[in-house]
Amino acid sequence: LAGFGELMQDVLWCFSQVKGTVDIGVTEADIISTVEFNHTGELLATGDKGGRVVIFQREQESKNQPHRRGEYNVYSTFQSHEPEFDYLKSLEIEEKINKIRWLPQQNAAYFLLSTNDKTVKLWKVSERDKRPEGYNLKDEDGRLRDPSMITVLRVPVLRPMDLMVEATPRRVFANAHTYHINSISVNSDYETYMSADDLRINLWNFEITNQSFNIVDIKPANMEELTEVITAAEFHPHHCNTFVYSSSKGTIRLCDMRTAALCDRHAKFFEEPEDPSNRSFFSEIISSISDVKFSHSGRYIMTRDYLTVKVWDLNMENRPIETYQVHDYLRSKLCSLYENDCIFDKFECVWNGSDSVIMTGSYNNFFRMFDRNTKRDVTLEASRENSKPRAILKPRKVCVGGKRRKDEISVDSLDFSKKILHTAWHPSENIIAVAATNNLYIFQDKVN
Amino acid sequence: MEEAQRLLTVSVWKLYRGRFQRGGLRLHRSLQLSLLVRAARYRYLSARAAAETGTAPGPAAGTPPGTGPADPPFAPGPAVGTPPVTAPADPLFAPGPVMGTPPGTGPAAPPFAPGPAAGTPPVTAPAAPPFAPGPAAGTPPVTAPAAPPFAPGPVMGTPPGTGPATRTPPGTGPADPPFVPGLATRTPPVTAPAAPPFAPGPVMGTPPRTAPGPVMGTPPGTGPADPPFAPGPVMGTPPGTGPADPPFAPAPHRGDPPSPNRGHRPTPDRTDPPAPDAANRDPPSRYRDPPSAPRLPPLQDPRSAPGAPPPARAGRKRRSSGSGGPGAAPVPSKRARLEAEEPPLGPGPPGRCSGPPAAAFGLLVRAVGAC
């Protein structure tokens, strides 16, 4: 496809669409909490803090406008999770959607997993464009007919109707997590998936909802000895026995389920020695890994902590092979960021389809891309001001000190309330989805 | 030291606010806050001890003693006598005036004061104050619960054997430990600290005004590992030091039932001074001269009074003031005790910090250090 696999310097990103309202006051329920393309890129799902899932579908490309790729329009919207209350612990369970993961399509319907802090649900999204008519025992309104009044039998027929997309919960996986679920990952066997909370990882079968296998448990016997928690987990894209999970200490553990039923002992342990010169009060916090992703090839792991993105080779555990500074100018602002809670933000990271470019978010609605081959990087902004159709995004630059140029922005001028935590990259094309608070921006490369 | 003080205040407030947010306390967030609280507290106490003794902190000042497998959360700070390293100009977090009172001024140091200089043996905890409300009639002593530092609210975690999560039958794999921390690559060589920073100093306040329990802070090497965030001072006498625990149910009485007057506490004589109203918020109503405060009449053994109501069952939940059970002496509330120890100071400059007034910092340090 045009634009796919090109180097960063040849790709010009253009604005495509923006979804969401432009209100000054942002309703917290509308804040997007997760974004995910499906395996073909045809569908784009978003989850928000209000527990809703909105699925966008890509339209067919128009022959009249060949320079425009198919746009994403709303395909289905449904309420996935509702707020609940744990009466035993007197705790409210948020309805916020933490993660969405698509299952590969095996028939006409689409399946996805969505999770909040405690419950995972399997949703079936299907289309209905026909309806049966001509029932014998009930009329067209659905009311039952008196059997004694039926004198003639007829065969019901299917007649076309307006397309209706319906989402139905097929499975509910509940009551298996004591702590807050932070990750779900579908296994490559497409029969199992795992859900990870702060201290445990459970393995589920899609067909069994009342039982799960605990495969990782790092809860100490004495909670006062707790030193780290699980922050993210993911299955290997090809090996159904392998998965990784990251910790709040900046470590990654790769586990093999063939070794033991309980994978508390890791097969590989990835950790980079800390630089003593950068030690501070906040070292522990900023070293916490917020996201971990396997590359599509399965050979590399990408991790995101507060200031950097690192790429690890599965064959080398002692240090990452690549480290990219996302916003190192914030290192001197950690105290302020701690006070306003920004230091606890959990940024995600994504690979492009060819594993040659990685992308992650930052503040002031900036997001960054790093080309692994050319080592070039670019900072772009998701803003309504650049929302003209096919408008080319101008690279942005943050001025650390000294004289500020006209098109640069000072560190002190960054808006820390505008942050891009969730991004997604089309599996095969240069189309990206960027969630900026309650707006979803879709950018694509300029078709030459 | 100022930075540590500020961070400690902010961190404790974040921990406190975290309990009221939707979804409850986040384990990850509270863990991070607790680690930072521990580091900031240790840094603050070390700096204060160094400032008071006029000596530089030891080479292992960056390693809080009593730390388990956790790595030391920060590097040793600058030695005393060197100009403090100021952070770069940060308009979002201007240093501002010093919070609290400079050392050596203001009210007396809190009871959790660092001990003497390095090399001296630690000061052992003084004996329990004479005026300890202790267990009231019929109530067993309240022992300190094993407060988890990251869950001051409802207990998190399911008891073993519950929940739908199951594991494969035992014996199919090696006996893995529940959690292996792995290589502590960030842990520098741990050496014994020159001065135990948690050696308690002189007990502040008059004996009846002190907490009705052990002195805050335990001698080094005793007690459990210091949790970074304890819910507060212990109420009640330590186990084994108070009167014998009354049984839950009185012993069966054989024979004729006692007369209605037997077993009741004698009504106080008019000549007896009234019992101190320590829970009264009005300072003049509270006793200012504790040594002359009268002792409470001795409590009778409920076993000798079968007609008396059974003592309340001891549990993890501490009773708030005013609910000490029938016939119990009024237990001063935590707020009343804290207010009685130090007069509150004015708040800091506006916009300086979103946390509590600077005057409460000392209280926070003690609250965090109490175990």
Mutant choice from B22, B85, B90 vs A, greatest count of A C-beta within 10 A? B22
3 state DSSP class of A10: helix
CATH number corresponding to A13-33+174-445:
2.130.10.10
- Paired with A444 in beta bridges are A14, A431
For the segment A171-190, what is each residue's pLDDT rounded down to a tens digit? 999 999 999 999 999 999 99
The pTM assigned to this predicted structure is 0.65
All residues of chain B having their beta carbon less than 8 Å from the beta carbon of residue A268 are none
Nearest to A288 among B32, B88, B178 (CB): B32
Q: What percent of chain A has pLDDT over 90?
A: 79
pLDDT at position B365, please?
A: 53
What is chain B's alpha carbon radius of gyration, rounded to the nearest angstrom? 24
All residues of chain B having their beta carbon less than 8 Å from the beta carbon of residue A28 are none
Q: Are the C-beta atoms of residues A58 and A43 closer than 8 Å to each other?
A: yes
Nearest to B164 among A176, A226, A227 (CB): A176
All residues of chain B having their beta carbon less than 8 Å from the beta carbon of residue A341 are 14
pLDDT at position B295, please?
A: 53
Mutant choice from B25, B155, B179 vs A, greatest count of A C-beta within 10 A? B179
pLDDT at position B21, please?
A: 84
For the segment A25-34, what is each residue's pLDDT rounded down to a tens digit? 889 999 999 9
Q: How far is residue B309's CA from residue B249's CA, in Å, rounded to a whole number?
A: 9
All residues of chain A having their beta carbon less than 8 Å from the beta carbon of residue B168 are 213, 261-262
Distance in Å, alpha carbon of A139 to nearest chain B alpha carbon? 45
Least confident segment among A140-154, A159-173, A177-191: A140-154
pLDDT at A229 over 70: yes
All residues of chain B having their beta carbon less than 8 Å from the beta carbon of residue A94 are 22-23
Confidence of residue A390 (pLDDT cuts 50, 70, 90): confident
Sheet bearing A357-361, strands edge to edge = A349-351, A357-361, A366-371, A377-381
Beta strand pairing status for A357-361 and A366-371? antiparallel
Structure-token pair, residue A245: 């999970």
Q: How far is residue B40's CA from residue B15's CA, in Å, rounded to a whole number?
A: 14
Residues 116-155 of A with CB under 8 A from B: 117
Between B76 and A347, the more confident residue is: A347
All residues of chain A having their beta carbon less than 8 Å from the beta carbon of residue B167 are 213-214, 261-262
For the segment A57-99, what is each residue's pLDDT rounded down to a tens digit? 999 876 666 555 679 999 999 999 999 999 988 889 999 999 9
Distance in Å, alpha carbon of B153 to nearest chain A alpha carbon? 9
Mutant choice from A88, A226, A412 vs B, greatest count of B C-beta within 10 A? A226
Between B61 and A149, the more confident residue is: A149
The segments of chain B whose pLDDT lies below 50 read: 58-253, 262-270, 289-293, 302, 304-312, 314-327, 342-359, 370-371
**H or E segment and range at residue A210:** strand A208-217
Structure-token pair, residue A432: 């990206």
pLDDT at A265 over 50: yes
Q: So where are chain A's domains?
A: 13-33+174-445
pLDDT at position A245, please?
A: 98
Contacts of A366 (CB under 8 A, 6+ apart): A327, A379, A380, A381, A382, A396, A398, A420
Q: How far is residue A73's CA from residue A397's CA, in Å, rounded to a whole number?
A: 32
pLDDT at A8 over 90: no
Average pLDDT over residues A353-361: 97
Residues 37-76 of A with CB under 8 A from B: none
Nearest to A262 among B3, B28, B173 (CB): B173
pLDDT at position A400, please?
A: 85
All residues of chain B having their beta carbon less than 8 Å from the beta carbon of residue A260 are 172-174, 176
Q: Do B166 and A211 touch (CB under 8 A)?
A: yes
Q: Do B163 and A265 touch (CB under 8 A)?
A: no
Is A275 within 8 Å of chain B by CB?
Answer: no
Locate the chain B residue with the closest alpha carbon to A272: B185
pLDDT at position A26, please?
A: 84
Least confident segment among A54-58, A234-238, B132-136: B132-136
Is A176 within 8 Å of chain B by CB?
Answer: yes
Distance in Å, alpha carbon of B163 to nearest chain A alpha carbon? 7
3 state DSSP class of A333: helix
Q: Do B74 and A264 touch (CB under 8 A)?
A: no
Distance in Å, alpha carbon of B134 to nearest chain A alpha carbon? 28
Q: Do B87 and A335 touch (CB under 8 A)?
A: yes
Average pLDDT over residues A233-243: 98
How far CA A51 is from CA of A29, B37, B145, in Å, comes to: 8, 34, 38
Distance in Å, alpha carbon of B106 to nearest chain A alpha carbon? 28
Considering only CA atoms, which of A93, A348, A282, A201 is closest in space to residue B26? A93
Q: Do B90 and A279 touch (CB under 8 A)?
A: no
Beta strand residue intervals within A282-354, DSSP E: 291-294, 300-304, 308-313, 322-325, 349-351
Locate the chain B residue with the closest alpha carbon to A265: B176
CB pairs under 8 A between A and B: 175
Confidence of residue A157 (pLDDT cuts 50, 70, 90): very high
Q: How far is residue A375's CA from residue B89's CA, in Å, rounded to a whole number?
A: 32
Residues 100-119 of A with CB under 8 A from B: 117
pLDDT at position B300, please?
A: 57
pLDDT at position B24, please?
A: 83
pLDDT at A342 over 90: yes
Q: Do B180 and A333 touch (CB under 8 A)?
A: no
Q: How far is Cα of residue B182 from the mean position of the Cα atoms in its chain?
A: 32
Structure-token pair, residue A35: 């974004």
Q: How far is residue A32's CA from residue A420's CA, in Å, rounded to a whole number?
A: 10
| Environment class of A114 (CB within 10 Å of its CB; exposed 0-12, middle 13-18, buried 19+) | buried
3 state DSSP class of A332: helix
Considering only CA atoms, which of A373, A256, A249 is closest in space to residue A314? A256
